[in-house]
Amino acid sequence: MIVKYNAKISGTGRYLPEKILTNKDLEKIVDTSDEWIVTRTGMKERRIAADDQAASDLAYEASLQAIQSSPIRSKDIDMIICATISADHAFPSTACIVQQKLGLKNFPAFDISAGCTGWVYAANIAKQYIENGAAENILVIGVETLSKITNYEDRNTCVLFGDGAGATIISRAEAKDISQLIDADISADGTHNELLIQRAGGSRMPASQKTVKENLHTVQMEGNKIFKLAVKSMYQACHTVLKRNHMDMQSIDWLITHQANMRIIQALGNKLKIDEKKVIVNIEKYANTSAATIPIALDEAIRNNKIRHGDIVLLASFGAGLTSGSLLFRL
């Protein structure tokens, strides 16, 4: 493809619900302990959406922050892509609801489902639209309300997930800009689709009294198998974009990976041979917010003046599907 324009990140935002669920709180719900959770995951607390908060509510607040931090106004947005597996409804899309909340209309708005890799997928899609001239400013959102589909009787999964939203404005770069989405790589291996799944609620297993009683509308995961696949797939995605751009890890200022498990983050960092001081981690505060982890961590690092204009950042994620992907950019 002949690239007409370069794409860049021009604004970021995040929103976390007010309610905090700590490991100590979880000790009262299931047979677990703070020490067990921290040792195995690195998580200490997570945010939980209120009963009357849906994915679009979180996404809207994050989007407002992203717009405010960018040089554009909401009327300049010409596309919304929302990555989520916990949408307000099966349809319409959460992106369309966010569009309505922002008071906008008459441009494309759609959701994608790529599990925890969702935001990386969505950012790569936005990159293509910007580069071919079909759009100038795209709102890319990663949002989850996983507490709504978590089984709080399953100690292996209920300790892992939290709610939150991260939003990013991806814009057309001017010729003089050093900021650029340099490259991205996304992939999937559907042979492992059973390892991380919400079995009921779709056309394969429609809702019934039986599916509700058996908690089949909640997240089910084979964590041990996913661990090895996660590290391998993220490493490959990172290796691909670095090799394609004649770069190595010495060129990277910051690495942000999907915040799924501290052991996975450390294993990938070791495999990539990157200084751990260059790895952005916030898993202890927010746990696994699926498609929202990377945009939340990115916004937090930018606002804390860790990641600065001109820095080269490498993002890597994996998720249900199994999906994987990486994104290389200069802020």
238 is catalytic: no
List 6, 23, 261, 288, catalytic entry: 288
142 vs 167: CA distance, rounded Å: 6
49 vs 203: CA distance, rounded Å: 27
Give the closest residue to 217 by CA, choosing from 163, 154, 162, 287. Answer: 154
- Crossing angle between the packed helical segments 293-303 and 118-131, to the nearest 10 degrees: 70
307 vs 146: CA distance, rounded Å: 28
288 is catalytic: yes
Residue partners of 140: CB distance under 8 A and separation at least 6: 81, 83, 119, 122, 123, 126, 167, 168, 169, 170, 295
Terminal CA-to-CA distance of the chain, rounded, Å?
A: 23
* Four-CA torsion 262, 264, 270, 272, nearest 10 degrees: -130
* Contact yes or no for 12/69 (Cβ under 8 A): yes
Give the closest residue to 235 by CA, choosing from 312, 326, 121, 122. Answer: 326
List 116, 124, 137, 238, catalytic entry: 116
258 is catalytic: yes
List 96, 124, 258, 261, catalytic entry: 258
Token pair belonging to 61: 């607040």
7 vs 167: CA distance, rounded Å: 16
Residues with a catalytic annotation lie at: 116, 258, 288
